[in-house]
Amino acid sequence: MDTKRHVLSVLVENEPGVLSRVAGLFSGRGFNIDSLNVAPALEDGVSHMTITTYGDPAIIEQIMKQLHKIVTVIKVTEFEDIPAVEREMMLIKVQADGPLRGEILRTVEIFRCKVVDVSPNEMTIEATGNHEKLEAIVSLLRSFGIKELVRTGSLAMRRSKKND
């Protein structure tokens, strides 16, 4: 079956156990969790989770139903057929000795990343983009030597309807 990456947006009541309920659902039922991001939503007392996961359509259907079944989950959206903006941020520390610095900076330019910290032989780069873009940056910078990498996991939001 076709196992694909899926982005789920989950709105939850912000009660103390809710993260554990969601995480426990994935571990207890053997579902994959690729990234998970939680933060307060616009409305007071509500949190927003963005979960990226892998699975075939039957598994994704089951994940969505199971999430819905959690009593404090308000809404579950999957961005497969819904146009969405997806963004993720990452910080990468790369080896940056003398002659290579220029080349790293050029790569940073092309991807519109920012250098946020520099030392004589390292550079820390901040990158924002969708999943594919960040994967591309990582694979390009790998040749310079990545010393550390942290990512936020994806955030996603439905695109506004175009009135045409």
Q: Token digits for 123?
A: 């550079």
Binding pattern to another protein, positions 25-64, x when CB under 8 A? ---x-----------------------------x--xx--
Footprint of another protein on 127-156 (CB under 8 A)? none
Total Cβ atoms within 10 A of residue 18 = 19
Smallest distance, Å, CB 126 to another protein? 36
Residues 36 and 23: beta-carbon distance below 8 Å = yes
* 74 binds another protein per the rule CB under 8 A: yes
**Tokens representing 10?**
């989950």
At 90, the amino acid letter reads: M
Segment near another protein (CB under 8 A); pick from 16-24, 91-99, 132-140, 149-157: 16-24
Half-sphere exposure (Cβ direction) of 122: Cα atoms closer than 13 Å: 12
Interface with another protein, residue 17, by CB under 8 A: yes
Using CB under 8 A, pick the residue from 24, 40, 83, 145 that binds another protein. 24
Per-residue 3-state assignment (H helix, E strand, C coil) for 19-34: HHHHHHHHHHCCCCCC
Nearer to another protein (CB atom), residue 33 or residue 138? 33
Single-letter residue type at 46: V
163 binds another protein, rule: CB under 8 A: no
| All residues at 6 or more sequence positions from 130 whose CB lies less than 8 Å from its CB, including other chains | 86, 87, 88, 154
Residues 1, 42, 71, 150: which binds another protein (CB under 8 A)? 71
Cα separation, 55 vs 40, in Å, equals: 27
Residue 8 binding another protein, by CB under 8 A: no
Q: Using the rule CB under 8 A, which residue among 1, 16, 119, 139 binds another protein? A: 16
Residues making contact with another protein (CB under 8 A) = 12-13, 16-17, 20-21, 24, 28, 58, 61-62, 65-66, 68-69, 71-74
